[in-house]
Structure 1
Amino acid sequence: MEKILIVEDDNDINQLLSKILKKQGYDTTSAYSGTEARLCLSMGHYDLIIMDLMLPGISGEELLTHIRQISTVPVIVLTAKTALDDKVHLLKAGADDYMTKPFARDEILARAEAQLRRYKTYSAVTVQETVFQYKDLIIDGEARSAVIGQIPLHLTIYEFEILQLLVKNPSRVFSKNAIYQEVWHGNYLGEDNTINVHISNIRSKIGKICGDEEYIKTVWGIGFKMA
């Protein structure tokens, strides 16, 4: 089931979009500000983003710039602006499509389906990169190896999976639940200390090579990301 993030501060429009898309079988998440949308993006993956430009907190333009720094997910912008220059600016800024308000139900569905179809095709033909680097750390997913400089980092299976997940997405904050779902393919139990122990072990092993240089950062109340 495709996941769609709806970013719209008008509650009625947000709920209308959610209702229309859910009726077609999509899984939707609603955000009502640019700040809330950025938090959603740091904690999960989406196949499409439908967003307004006039947002409280982080502006729509700032949010669009942030999205393009971390992802190739398709973005449809909702705008009240009708001038050609405004539309051209949106596309140059990273939007994949735009719709002017008010919008028709059938058109929003058609545009959403078109973007999802293109994204699936693009994802299917993209060659999967297996080697990732962060600072002096190099992770090779195919060889299942991690080195810092020329020094091997000896990790357990789960430690490797966690570190590879973080290095592949260095700007994203992963909640414990997100890490658990990606690595263990299950739901995280809040009282389980598994994630903390593995993160601590990874930090300890990196610290023996790099000293006090920080590689993994704790984002209090949310989760972990590369420093």
Structure 2
Amino acid sequence: MTKGKILIAEDDNDINHLIYEVLTREGYTVTQAFSGTEAKLHWNNEAFDLLLCDLMLPGMTGEELIAEIIAKQSASIIVISAKNTIMDKVDLLKLGASDYITKPFDIEELLARVEVQLRKTTTEESVNESLSWQGLTLSTDRYNAQIDGQDIRLTAREFGILKLLISNPKKVFTKENIFSSVWGETEYIDENTVNVHMSNIRSKLNKAKPDRDYIETVWGIGFKMKN
């Protein structure tokens, strides 16, 4: 089992690869992004325990990326930047960053700060709300899903759908219900959007537990958790 999943958002190739190699050697699972837009794509489609974020990123600045993430969920974020004034640090911490490291940085200090943030996440998770349904458990702050202790990799949309269904397992949710709740939009345009995500969820759950069907289709109405 890995120590945690970390996303690096850093456009400097040398720094990005250095951090990647160091963290990987320490046992972390690491994903690299070299622009703000690439980092946003990874974050929205995978579940991470920590973001290491530069500020001067192409496509989307680090400040914009952090603001978008924090607006949707709590997250552990360490800023790594050449900006070194007190106000720079204060502004980023107020924006939602968990910690701030100034470039150039010492690798040992970076590792220590990463360990501290992940330890905080683990401690908070132990008292955080979780949702369970017949062996399937969702940890709502980390977008983490497990079946009988086995990790299930879900995108943010897939997690949102499962969270909605498990939160009220006896209720039948229409596709319109699901779309408005998970996508946050009132106008439902393409019903295939929900169908594709539901198919992906079923496939992932079935792979983890082939003898169990967790989601029931109520024909002509929608979906619910299956008893």
- The TM-score range, normalised by the shorter chain, is 0.5 to 0.7
Give 1:81 deviation, angstroms.
1.3
Between the aligned partners of 1:77 and 1:56, the Cα distance in structure 2 is: 16
Give 1:180 deviation, angstroms.
5.2
The residue that corresponds to 1:71 in the other structure is 73
Unaligned runs of 5+ in 2: 133-139, 141-162, 185-192, 209-214, 223-227
TM-score (norm 1): 0.65
* Residue 183 of structure 1 pairs with residue 210 of structure 2: no
Give 1:99 deviation, angstroms.
0.2
Between the aligned partners of 1:203 and 1:81, the Cα distance in structure 2 is: 56
Between the aligned partners of 2:18 and 2:122, the Cα distance in structure 1 is: 25
Between the aligned partners of 2:220 and 2:23, the Cα distance in structure 1 is: 46
The residue that corresponds to 1:59 in the other structure is 61
Between the aligned partners of 1:10 and 1:179, the Cα distance in structure 2 is: 36
8 Å CA contact 1:44, 1:178 repeated in 2: no
Give 1:114 deviation, angstroms.
0.1
C-alpha RMSD over aligned residues:
3.7
The residue that corresponds to 1:107 in the other structure is 109
8 Å CA contact 2:78, 2:97 repeated in 1: yes
**CA distance change for structure 1 residues 202 and 25 in 2, over 3 Å: closer, same or farther?**
farther
* Residue 144 of structure 1 pairs with residue 169 of structure 2: yes
**CA distance change for structure 1 residues 180 and 40 in 2, over 3 Å: closer, same or farther?**
farther
Between the aligned partners of 1:52 and 1:74, the Cα distance in structure 2 is: 14
Between the aligned partners of 2:172 and 2:113, the Cα distance in structure 1 is: 44
**Identity of paired residues, percent?**
38
8 Å CA contact 1:139, 1:146 repeated in 2: no
Q: 1:96-121 CA deviation, whole Å, 9 max, x = no partner?
A: 00100011110000000000000011
Between the aligned partners of 1:204 and 1:8, the Cα distance in structure 2 is: 47
Alignment of 1:8-157 (within 5 A): 8-128=10-130, 139=164, 141=166, 144-147=169-172
**CA distance change for structure 1 residues 128 and 11 in 2, over 3 Å: closer, same or farther?**
same
**CA distance change for structure 1 residues 204 and 127 in 2, over 3 Å: closer, same or farther?**
same
SS at match of 1:141: helix
SS at match of 1:78: strand
Greater displacement, 42-51 / 173-182: 173-182
8 Å CA contact 1:14, 1:30 repeated in 2: yes
Give 1:79 deviation, angstroms.
1.1
8 Å CA contact 2:172, 2:218 repeated in 1: no
8 Å CA contact 1:139, 1:145 repeated in 2: no
Give 1:184 deviation, angstroms.
2.7
Paired letter, 1:87: K
